[in-house]
Amino acid sequence: MDQLPNALSFLRELGLKDPEFHFADIWAGRGEFSKLELPQRLGLCRFMAHIFAAYRFSVLVQTFDPSTATDIRNRGEWPKSFGPVKFSDHGDLALIFALLRVRLYLNSLEGGMRRPA
């Protein structure tokens, strides 16, 4: 966490406002990352790899393509929305499943995220 403010300052110096770190976008130079040359984008990937290795963060990988989302929507009765999250929006549905995976992972750790009795 000590390095985060400097990292965010560096990203702002590169012309990025508050990017989300979707590595497919970084690699392809899409969205905010279209402003950066490939060596800069690869530097971001190296930096993040260093952070994950140094702090031994777990990496959860999820793919959620449109056909998967359609299959899930067709499996049952889903509400139209959950607060600001819309089940009909591919990105929102992918976020819901990513958060569920994170929760399952955290609960699987020794001690997990158990709620106090």
Euclidean distance between CA atoms 60 and 57, whole angstroms: 10
The mean pLDDT of 48-70, rounded to a whole number, is 82
Strands (E), 1-117: 81-82, 85-86
Name residue 93's amino acid: L
Residue 1 pLDDT: 67
Per-chain mean pLDDT for the chain: 81
pLDDT higher than 70, residue 115? no
Euclidean distance between CA atoms 29 and 13, whole angstroms: 17
The mean pLDDT of 69-98, rounded to a whole number, is 80
Q: Give the model's confidence band at 19: pLDDT under 50 very low, under 70 low, under 90 confident, else very high.
A: low
The mean pLDDT of 74-103, rounded to a whole number, is 81
Q: 28 is written with which tokens?
A: 């392809």
The mean pLDDT of 14-41, rounded to a whole number, is 85
The pTM score is 0.56
Euclidean distance between CA atoms 113 and 49, whole angstroms: 26
In the chain, what percentage of residues exceed pLDDT 70? 91
Angle between helix axes 66-73 and 90-108 (nearest 10 degrees) is 80
CA torsion 108-109-115-117 (nearest 10°) is 100
Residue 39 pLDDT: 93
Please say whether the beta carbons of 28 and 57 come within 8 A: no
pLDDT higher than 90, residue 38? yes
